[in-house]
Chain A
Amino acid sequence: MAWVRLSEAEKVYIAHGVQEDLRQDGRSCEDYRCIEVETDVVSNTSGSARVKLGHTDILVGIKAEMGTPKLERPHEGCVEFFVDCSANAAPEFEGRGGEELGTEIANTLYRMFNNESSLDLKALCISQAEHCWILYVDVLLLECGGNLFDAISIGVKAALFNTRIPKVRILEDEEGSKEIELSDDPYDCIRLNVENVPCIITLSKIGHRHVVDATLQEEACTLASLLVSVTSKGLLTGMKKVGKGSLDPESIFEMIETGKRVGKAVHVSLQEILNKEESLGKQRQKVGFLG
């Protein structure tokens, strides 16, 4: 990652600013940077989204492929996460350099989605114990400017919202052999319910206060951060402490409260944007990377 090195004086400057609830770019402690979200940017995927949060740039592509359900969950499809920290984001990621961070992010995503309510996996089952849809959620990191986890989770939610899985039917003939029939109409497809899909909110402890959506500079003087994954209703589906420093229990509770409050607001504005984009339909001018 494009790590930044800060001098002691710069760190003190940032910490004092945070103490006064005024950050380098004029935000207050609970403000996000401007988030740009665009869905349906890669046309050969089932669903895709691009998220730009400050200098952080994320592309998420979802492909639905047919496979067999897991033995212990025969009625459900599954979701696989993969995060590619490409060399585009930082030269250190060249070759296998990005694998460590990629696995860490993917595992966090697995943990956040590892509950009954996040996604209705039963809808992905085609025939019990035989066929199901496997959603490959592939995240591509194009540029990092701090707060990767939040941007990625927003991208995943937007891409899941955008995902369209073709409808299939199981035909059975007299001899009992089964055949899968794909619907002729390309618009005949399943949409996923993303109401309970969580978003990750990262709270970084700087000095005695915590901030959301830290920039690279702020991350450099963060003692420790707490990732909380919050649904639109304010439910917590996962939590993780990252960073070198330690946190006391009291501040963790404070951070969770902030996380819930901010998370709800993020969900509301994200849903608004997604609905607006959806309502434009085909008339929407696709911007992608050209804008």
Chain B
Amino acid sequence: MAGLELLSDQGYRLDGRKAVELRKIQARMGVFAQADGSAYIEQGNTKALAVVYGPHEIRGSRSKALHDRAVVNCQYSMATFSTGERKRRPHGDRKSSEMTLHLKQTFEAAILTQLYPRSQIDIYVQILQADGGNYCACVNAATLAIMDAGIPMRDYVCACSTGFIEDTPLVDLCYVEEAAGGPQLALALLPKSEQIALLEMNSRLHEDHLEKVLDAASKACRDVYAVLDRVVRDHVQEVCTLLGE
């Protein structure tokens, strides 16, 4: 992009981060009382809220029920005021539907669905403010919300986006870096087993660079894991203290 230096000669990005540095992550579990599980996450200026209902009986038509595992039902929506220009619809557009599908795939891979046959788990995520890495923030928030709901998972699911500019992989892209249109890789990782729950790449990238970018992305996901783990442990400790245990 003309006139915009995404990575300076000194190795700093537009917002002053190094190439492999994440944005500040702040999160909280148990935001709402009525839902079974809920979590809120801030990754820099991207803010996401996730709510989990279930596992419960299948809502609507029973034909959707699976006899051997639970149905994971997701909805991704963005607040109309979350983007720079106002959005007309919070959900139901093509981008949101795609995102919904991605989330469903990611969490079907992570949740132990076979423990709850003929039931349904609802995961609703909402972007309150969008500044790049929406998918990743949603996955991270949903992971915390599922844990808050006490639904067993194989592992945490940690997601992080990675770009590739001037032969350097940049992790956790912000909106300006995303909009520049370079290659972009979204990775959702199960950090303990190093299994990939979702991998998606936009634009084109030379095959030789792929390994480098993938390595940077999984390193970033493990960094996200460290932060999320801290949040979960703090939350559990707080809850235990309140219960007097």
Contact = CB atoms under 8 A, between A and B. Distances in A.
Given A87-B122, A143-B32, A43 B45 contact: yes
Nearest to A50: B128
A95 B28 CA distance: 26
Contacts of B26: 290
Given A59-B128, A95-B92, A136-B80, A289 B28 contact: yes
A88 B80 contact: no
A63 B75 contact: no
A23 to B, nearest CB: 19
Given A44-B129, A57-B32, A61-B79, A88 B122 contact: no
Interface string B54-82: 00000100000000000001010101111
Contact of A44 (B28, B32, B82, B124): B82
Task: Name, among B26, B45, B82, the residue most crowded by chain A CB atoms within 10 Å (CB to CB).
Answer: B82
Interface residues of B, number: 36
B51 A88 contact: yes
A96 B178 CA distance: 30
A121 interface: no
Interface in A174-217: none
24 contacts: A42-B47, A42-B82, A44-B129, A44-B130, A45-B81, A61-B79, A63-B81, A84-B80, A84-B90, A86-B124, A87-B51, A88-B35, A91-B59, A91-B124, A94-B73, A95-B92, A96-B92, A140-B80, A140-B90, A142-B49, A143-B33, A143-B34, A143-B35, A289-B49
Given A42-B128, A143-B34, 19 more contacts: A44-B82, A61-B81, A63-B86, A84-B77, A84-B80, A86-B77, A87-B51, A87-B124, A88-B38, A88-B49, A95-B92, A138-B81, A142-B32, A143-B32, A144-B34, A288-B42, A288-B47, A289-B40, A290-B42
Interface of B: 26, 28, 31-35, 38, 40, 42, 45, 47, 49, 51, 53, 59, 73, 75, 77, 79-86, 90, 92, 122, 124, 126, 128-131
